[in-house]
Amino acid sequence: MSTAASSAHASAGITVRDVTKVFYRGKEPLTVLDKLNLEVTPGQFVALMGPSGSGKSTLLNLIAGLDRPSQGSVQVGQSSVSNMADSELAKWRSQNVGFIFQTYNLMPVLTALENVELPLLLTKLSGAERKKRAQTALRVVGLEDRSTHYPRQLSGGQEQRVAIARAIVNDPSLIVADEPTGDLDRQSADDILTLLTKLNTDFGKTIVMVTHDPAAAERANVTRRLNKGQLS
Amino acid sequence: MIPLRYNARSLVRRRTTTIAAALGMALVVFVLAASLMLSSGIKKTLTQSGRPNVAIVLRKGSDAELASGVEKAHVALVSAREEVARDGSGAPLSVGEVVVVITQEKIDGNGISNLSIRGVPENVYAFRPTVKVTEGRPARPGTDEVVVGKRARGRFKGVDLNKAFELKKNLPVQVVGVFEDDGSSYESEVWGDLETVRRGFGREDGVSSVRVQLTSPEKMDAFKTAIEGDKQLQLEVFPETTYFEKMSEGTSAFVNGLGITIAVFFSIGAMIGALITMYASVAQRRKEIGTLRALGFSRSSILFSFLMESLMLAVAGGVLGVLAALGLGFVKFSMMNFASWAEVTFSFNPTPEILVFAVVFGGIMGVIGGFFPAVRAARVPPIAAMRGA
Ligand SMILES: Nc1ncnc2c1ncn2[C@@H]1O[C@H](COP(=O)(O)OP(=O)(O)OP(=O)(O)O)[C@@H](O)[C@H]1O
Ligand SMILES: [Mg+2]
């Protein structure tokens, strides 16, 4: 992480243009996003709010390259995310996006260090270098003394910090977080938000965070509200 | 690549189902290894007493000693050939023997079974130097004394040291010794006096077979050509090694075939076991797999990872099966040898090739059984990471 500031893709801007996302329930079409536009400048910390079912996660998935829009385009940094083939997209995600999930999504059978190391297995780094970087990432989230612990031996807040370490270990240009504090108590939630703020201010990461929590949204530079397929 | 320890630990985590599926695999590998070991043991037992410089002479067209008959006069003729080696006194190194099969009551109460009786001449121990009387003493020629092979001993009523039994009605014999021959098929026979057996079974006119020791293995062809060329004799010559190999073929192929058939049937079950286990595992781990995909792992790396997982499962089972099969090394197994129609006792012969083959077979079953679940895992979309479990 010490090299983050000098990284080639320390942060990325996002351009979402006229994006429509339609899901089908059987034959019934459900338009979740309707010609939606969003601009995120490099290094911005954006909070996405809105009622349940409004399409926040759907939008986040499109930005992070987990899914493709029905229409419109998504551009992240220099990459046209909505145009990439599956395998290309997987590689792009591994190099450019850090994921933080509401339910942490750590591998239960891997230790904290092994979980953090996972994304590095897709790089050409040596085993020793991978270990070093994973340890550094754990230090950033303050859990270097828990590296050999398994997820079940950690509290929810600690699990989420390990997940954050995993999200930053590849030094991505963009971090997406879907309700990262949704399952946490106030204190742990605040710790996580402080960490995210630090990643944004100290390391210049672009962050898009979906949240229901106004206190969380306050930490962001901007808050956008999603309603009936449109942003306001 | 997704680290293998991820798969290994995932298997350990689902201990119960993993063990159940691995035991299924173990059973298949056990059956396969056991039958191959037995088949190999049969071959070893039946062929080991063959010597390349010994020729066996049988009546033309009879594949085995039991069905063969050689006239007395021909025994002398065959033995007199120049290719036949001689002992110090100038006597030819040859034995004419009578082989008959009797049925005898078994000791374990499992009814009756066939027992091979060989009427042997006086010089039999000189002719077969590997045969040693290890308990009691050799039978005296011209008497109703017999010696029994180590593996026949104690399996039939009266067939044990210092006991007596009847070769046939009103032909009682006394067991005065036990002999060994490095585990060869002779050890499953009873050896009595040639004349006694002849008289008892109406074979006064000849013998079943003649074995001659040639001056060298190279003389085999000349001897064979000479004997078979004499159309009056109507005899056939085999190198003893070839003869024993032929004798073992039917039985060992039968065991092989049976074992492989059973293993293949079982392996279908074991494959389904691995399939179900892996399907359940994939269903439970959709979110985990989705997360791996979100992190950037490719479909093919997921496919490979899950194939490795079921391979590990199968190989763990396979190693267990092979270890269990190795335990059979101590088990003796007696069955009918189709060629001699007599019971021969075999042991399981574990060779490295068999053990490796059995484990590899299990591994292949695992990969086949794990294939469709692995494909399903590879199809899990990255957005599965976002959804609830
Ligand atoms: N794969 C899918 N197939 C069909 N419908 C879907 C799919 N994913 C999402 N939806 C639907 O799209 C709508 C928006 O879902 P989304 O998860 O984006 O909402 P959200 O704003 O994140 O809600 P929440 O705050 O509850 O997480 C919902 O009605 C949901 O049921
Ligand atoms: Mg959501």
pLDDT per position as a tens digit, A26-45: 899 999 999 999 999 999 99
pLDDT category of residue A24 using cuts at 50, 70 and 90: very high
pLDDT at B45: 80
Collapsing DSSP states into helix, strand and coil, what is residue B56? strand
Report pLDDT digits (tens) over A96-105: 999 999 999 9
B15 Cβ under 8 Å from any chain A Cβ: no
The answer to whether the Cβ–Cβ distance between B287 and A105 falls below 8 Å is yes
B287 interface with A at CB cutoff 8 Å: yes
- C-alpha span between B376 and B283 (Å, rounded): 9
B255 phi/psi in degrees, rounded to 5: -65, -45
Contact status, residue A15 vs residue A39, Cβ threshold 8 Å: yes
The residue behind tokens 């270097």 is: A144
A25, A58, A62, A102, best to mutate for ligand 1 pocket (most atoms within 8 Å of CB):
A58
Token pair of B306, please?
């899950």
Question: Residues near ligand 1 with C-beta < 6 Å?
Answer: A 23, 30, 32, 50, 52-58
Please tell me the residue having the least CA distance from ligand 1 atom 17.
A57
A79: tokens are 């990459």
The answer to whether B240 and B123 are in contact (CB under 8 A) is no
Give one word for A153, left, alpha or beta, with left for phi > 0 and alpha for psi -120 to 50. alpha
Do B247 and B72 contact (CB within 8 A), yes or no? no
CA–centroid distance, residue B340 to ligand 2 (Å): 79
Give the tens place of pLDDT for each residue, A44-82: 999 999 999 999 999 999 999 999 999 999 999 999 999
Distance between CA atoms of residues A159 and A146, nearest Å:
10
Token pair for residue B171? Answer: 């032909």
**φ/ψ (deg, to 5) at B281:** -65, -45
Give yes or no for residue A180 having a pLDDT over 70: yes
Find the closest chain B residue to A111 by CA distance: B6
The pLDDT assigned to B93 comes to 95
Interval A140-166: pLDDT, tens: 999 999 999 999 999 999 999 999 999
Give a yes or no: residue A38 inside a domain. Answer: yes
On whether the CB atoms of residues B50 and B181 are closer than 8 A, the answer is: no
Q: Is A29 part of a structural domain of the chain?
A: yes
One DSSP character per residue, B293-312 reads HHHT--HHHHHHHHHHHHHH
pLDDT band at A2; cut points 50, 70, 90: very low
Cβ contacts of B10 on chain A, cutoff 8 Å: 109
Cα→Cα distances B105→B102, B114, B177, Å = 10, 9, 20
Q: What ipTM describes this predicted complex?
A: 0.94
In a domain, A99, yes or no: yes
Full DSSP string of B5-44: HHHHHHHHHTHHHHHHHHHHHHHHHHHHHHHHHHHHHHHH
Is residue A134 domain-resident?
Answer: no
Q: How does residue A5 score in pLDDT terms, banded at 50, 70 and 90?
A: very low
Inform me whether the C-beta atom of residue B386 falls under 8 Å from chain A C-beta atoms.
yes
B249 burial type by CB count under 10 A (0-12 exposed, 13-18 middle, 19+ buried): middle
Contact state of B388 with A109 under an 8 Å Cβ cutoff = no
Structure confidence at residue B266 (pLDDT):
85
Yes or no: say if B72 and B206 are a contact pair by the CB < 8 Å rule: yes
pTM score of the predicted model: 0.80
Asked if the structure places residue A208 within a domain, the reply is: yes
Q: Which domain holds residue A65?
A: 3-105+172-231
Tally: H helices and E strands in chain B:
10, 14
Percent of chain A predicted with pLDDT > 90: 92
Q: What is the mean pLDDT of chain A?
A: 93
pLDDT band at A3 (very low <50, low <70, confident <90, very high): very low
- Average pLDDT for A112-130: 96
Q: Whole-angstrom distance between the N-terminal and C-terminal Cα of chain A?
A: 35
Secondary structure (3-state) at A48: strand
CA proximity to B328, closest of B306, B369, B358: B358
- Which candidate in B5, B12, B285, B295 is best for mutational testing of the A interface (most A CBs within 10 A)? B295
Q: Measured between CB atoms, which of A67, A94, A109 is closest to B296?
A: A94
* Residue B385, burial from CB neighbour count under 10 angstroms (0-12, 13-18, 19+): buried
Q: Cα separation of A73 and B242, whole Å? A: 79
Distances (CA, A) of A153 to A110, A146, A188: 11, 9, 16
Question: Hey, whose CA ends up nearest to atom 26 of ligand 1?
Answer: A52
Instruction: Identify which of A230, A191, A227 has the alpha carbon closest to the alpha carbon of residue A50.
Output: A227
* Contact between residue B306 and residue B300 where contact means Cβ atoms under 8 Å apart: no
Q: Strand A45-49 and strand A28-40: pairing?
A: unpaired
How many angstroms separate the CA of residue B306 from the nearest CA in chain A?
15
Q: What is the nearest CA distance from B7 to chain A, expressed in angstroms?
A: 9
Q: How far is CA B41 from CA A24, A53, B19, B120, B240, in A?
A: 65, 71, 31, 26, 19
DSSP string, A17-34: EEEEEEEEETTEEEEEEE
Q: How many domains does chain A have?
A: 1
Ligand nearest to the CA of A32: 1
For the CA of A59, the closest atom of ligand 1 is 18
Residue B283 touches partner A, C-beta closer than 8 Å: no
CA-to-CA dists, residue A97 to A100, A128, A177, B154, B296, angstroms: 10, 23, 10, 78, 9
A114 interaction partners in chain B (CB closer than 8 Å): 3, 5
C-alpha–C-alpha distance, residues A96 and B179, integer Å: 81
Distance A180 CA to ligand 1 centre (A): 17
Contact B3 A99 (CB under 8 A): no
Nearest to B54 by CA among B209, B207, B216, B212: B212
CATH of the domain at A96: 3.40.50.300
pLDDT of chain B, 389 residues: tens digit per residue: 899 999 999 999 999 999 999 999 999 999 999 988 988 888 888 787 788 999 999 999 988 898 899 999 999 999 999 999 999 899 999 999 999 999 999 888 878 889 999 999 999 999 999 999 999 999 999 999 999 999 889 889 999 999 999 998 889 999 999 999 988 889 999 999 999 999 999 998 899 999 999 999 999 999 999 999 999 999 999 999 888 888 888 888 888 888 888 888 888 988 898 899 999 999 999 999 999 999 999 999 999 999 999 999 999 999 999 999 999 878 877 777 766 666 777 888 899 999 999 999 999 999 999 999 999 999 999 999 987 54
β pairing state of A79-80 and B189-193: unpaired
